[in-house]
Amino acid sequence: MIINFKLSTMKNVSNTTTTNNEFKAEFKELWDSSVVEHAKNEMQKYSEDFAKTNQLHKGQVSQSGGYYIVVDNTKGERAIDEPFFFADYITRKHTYEVFAEAMKLGLEDFSIDFQWDTRYWESLRDKFKGYDPENDGDGDCVNILTYNTKDIKKREDAIKLNWATPDHLCEVIVEDGRKTRKGIFNYKAYTMLVALAKYSPNCHIGGRALYYLLDNGELDTKKHMLEMEGGFMTAILKGDLLLSLKRGSGNYVDALCEAIKKNEIEI
């Protein structure tokens, strides 16, 4: 999604936006630090493709600008008229400032995108002489973060520890003519998945644990995935706590230990 606008309409909030702690809990759950590297890679790829398409040396292409836009996904349009401009590129701090402004509007479904302009020099000589590059009026954007109240509620429900494996994680087994429900993994594995999703949400494993816990109608897919996991997740899904602690590292072990301290995992 590309939204064009004049640079003069940009809103610089780096000095005008007050620090607001009200929305930090929600933001912490949504922020994924890997988006910064992803955006850099996308910008580099776009620059290389632009140079190739227009038969330019890659040194003749530059990406200037860098601004945040808030899109109301319900209406399919910008939620805030003026984009947010900062001197540098994507940072957690700046993204939070934009997020807080969007939350103040009470939006239930919005995205924060980072957009940039593409500029180029007619020749490398022009670049080395210090001439300003031409503004092609083109560019692209990447999604940084999406907030949806329904998704938030689903996540909250998923990481709420139940006394038994939830029905949506169970399959119906028929034995001797009687139907019973059986979890696709045992209860201890369930509690360990909750621990990872709850206490280590902003990492790959935490996100994977959350996927297994969500009531998303993909039980058959999850059953298939059980046989394809790596060493650490295999131990988790078997409910083997000691092996999980042995194979895990860093945030993963910390998340399990936090749950153990709070008696959320049986030892």
Q: List, for residues 160-184, the tens digit of each pLDDT value.
A: 998 999 999 999 888 888 888 899 9
Structural contact between residues 223 and 171, judged by C-beta atoms closer than 8 angstroms: yes
Structural contact between residues 159 and 210, judged by C-beta atoms closer than 8 angstroms: yes
Distance CA 26, CA 153 (A): 11
| N-to-C CA span, the chain | 49
Q: Which of 207, 180, 184 is nearest to 196 (CA)?
A: 207
Return the pLDDT at 110.
92
Tell which phi-psi region holds residue 130, choosing left (phi > 0), alpha (psi between -120 and 50) or beta: left
* pLDDT at 15 exceeding the cut of 70: no
Q: Which of 130, 132, 86 is nearest to 112 (CA)?
A: 86
Structural contact between residues 135 and 50, judged by C-beta atoms closer than 8 angstroms: no
Band the pLDDT of 85: cuts 50, 70, 90: confident
Q: Please, what's the largest Cα pairwise distance for the chain?
A: 85
Distance CA 186, CA 57 (A): 58
Calculate mean pLDDT across residues 53-79: 86
* pLDDT at 70 exceeding the cut of 50: yes
pTM above 0.85, yes or no: no
Tell me how far the alpha carbon of residue 265 is from its chain's centroid: 27
Pairing status of strand 134-148 against strand 178-183: unpaired
Return the pLDDT at 138.
65
Q: Which of 231, 187, 186, 229 is nearest to 211 (CA)?
A: 229
